[in-house]
Amino acid sequence: MNSKLADRAASLETVSILPEPSPEAPSKSPEPNNKARSNRVAEDRVKKAVSADALNRIRQDLIEAQRSKAELQARLKTTTEEAAMLKSRFEIDNRRLNELATERTSLAMRIRDRDEELRGKAKLLENVQDEVVSLSLQLNMAEERSAKHQRENEDLIARWMKRMEREADAMNDASRFS
């Protein structure tokens, strides 16, 4: 479109550069005849008609170019606004993505710390359970010893009581005969 406009403008310039003989201006060369003069007048009319036709075409091309330019400028404005909107949305999304990445890292660290804490508590619980089992065994053994000592004590008391009873009987028997 622009090259057509440039071609037509150049052709118009060449037409306007060519000197147009004016009917009032005296001719430097003597006029040989009327036929030559009528040829020049006809040529001038053709040039003017071609010039007017070319000028009209150039004006039409200029109008079309200006309309096209206005359309393209409107499209450019719309596209620029859309690009700016998308850029701002991209920046907002990028900020949000960075915030989420930071939050994810923080949560991952908290989970690691919590897992480590839970492992420590599980180990502590295992140690406490082992201690409870150990103390239960010691308690059972102590109860068994206590029961054994209780039986031995009862046995000793029972033997001592028999012995004392025999001694008492022996003393009673000795005192009856005396």
- For tokens 């701002």, name the residue: 88
Query: What's residue 74's pLDDT?
Result: 95
> What does pLDDT average to in each consecutive run of 10 residues of the chain (178 residues)?
58 48 46 67 69 83 94 96 96 96 97 97 96 96 96 95 92 80
Query: What's residue 176's pLDDT?
Result: 78
Query: What's residue 50's pLDDT?
Result: 66
Query: What's residue 24's pLDDT?
Result: 45
Query: What's residue 154's pLDDT?
Result: 95
Query: What's residue 173's pLDDT?
Result: 87
Query: What's residue 25's pLDDT?
Result: 44
Query: What's residue 9's pLDDT?
Result: 56
CA separation for the pair 73, 108 (Å, rounded): 51
Query: What's residue 147's pLDDT?
Result: 96
Contact 69, 63 (CB under 8 A): no
Contact 40, 21 (CB under 8 A): yes
CA separation for the pair 115, 84 (Å, rounded): 46
Contact 14, 54 (CB under 8 A): no
3-state secondary structure of 74: helix
First to last CA, the chain: 163
Query: What's residue 4's pLDDT?
Result: 60
Contact 54, 15 (CB under 8 A): yes
CA distances 28 to 25, 32, 42, Å, are 9, 12, 19
Q: Which residues contact 27 (CB under 8 A, 6 or more apart)?
A: 21
